Amino acid sequence: MPFPRCLVCGSSVNDAGVDHVHRFPRNEQKSKIWQDAMGIKYIPGVSLKNYSICSRHFTVCSYLNRVTGKLCANAVPTLLPASSVGLQSPSEQTLETPSTPPRSIFRGIKGLSAADTTPRKQHLMNLVKSKEAHIRKLKKLCRKKTSDIKSLTNIGDSTVVRNVFRGMSSVTTDFLISQLRCAKKSPRGRRWITQDKVLALALFKKSPKCYRLLRKMVALPSKNTQLAMLL
């Protein structure tokens, strides 16, 4: 596999005086700074991330570690720009502005265009898009079903239940609805509305013994719940 060559002077690590070869930054702003420093014409939309520049163009201060070739975060090549070695702007010679616009299936995927893909990749991307559309439909259906379930659990507002209890007093209706609401819940999981607590308190005041007997047969608030209401 051939060694990467410097975009400015064409050198590689096999040449004398070249210790390292560095890729152009992926960050477009930082890459532009490097290009301006080297006299390379900046073309918006053209990435140089696959091109390299050799260590001849960096000062010693640009390195954190000269042996490993670790550059400083703010390192900029300043030595021997393209004009000083008698070269035209490499971007004018070797780079072309991409003419093929990204296809719709690649929308939202940074740096990916139709020219970079194979038919198999395009097929996979189409498959991903169709699955995403299917997931969106399922999420919408799930939200609708969740809303339906919530409406069913709110028995007190159900028209069907109200029609069944038509003709009964409001106290009886509220009591029966509370029994339906708390039937399958554990004693600690039951939640009582104010009407339930008022009715339970009235029954407890009439006869505590009778209230304790009723609690064994139907769901009623505990003594502590009633005391908390009075505080």
Q: Where are the domains of the chain?
A: 21-97, 99-153, 168-230
**Could you tell me which residues come within 8 angstroms of residue 49 by beta carbon, excluding any fewer than 6 positions away?**
23, 24, 25, 26, 31
Q: What whole-number distance in Å separates Cα of residue 8 and Cα of residue 54?
A: 8
Cβ density class 157-176: b for 16+ within 10 Å, e for less: eeeebeeeeeeeeeeebbbb
CA atoms within 13 A of residue 116's CA, in its CB half-sphere: 12
pTM, full prediction: 0.36
pLDDT of residue 97: 43
Cβ density class 109-122: b for 16+ within 10 Å, e for less: eeebeeeebeeeee
pLDDT of residue 43: 80
Q: What is the pLDDT along the chain (231 residues), one digit of tens a residue?
A: 567 888 888 888 888 888 889 889 888 888 889 888 888 887 877 778 888 899 888 898 888 888 888 899 889 988 876 655 544 444 444 454 444 444 444 455 555 555 566 788 888 888 898 999 999 999 999 988 887 776 666 665 666 666 777 888 888 888 888 888 887 788 888 888 888 888 999 999 899 999 999 989 999 998 888 888 887
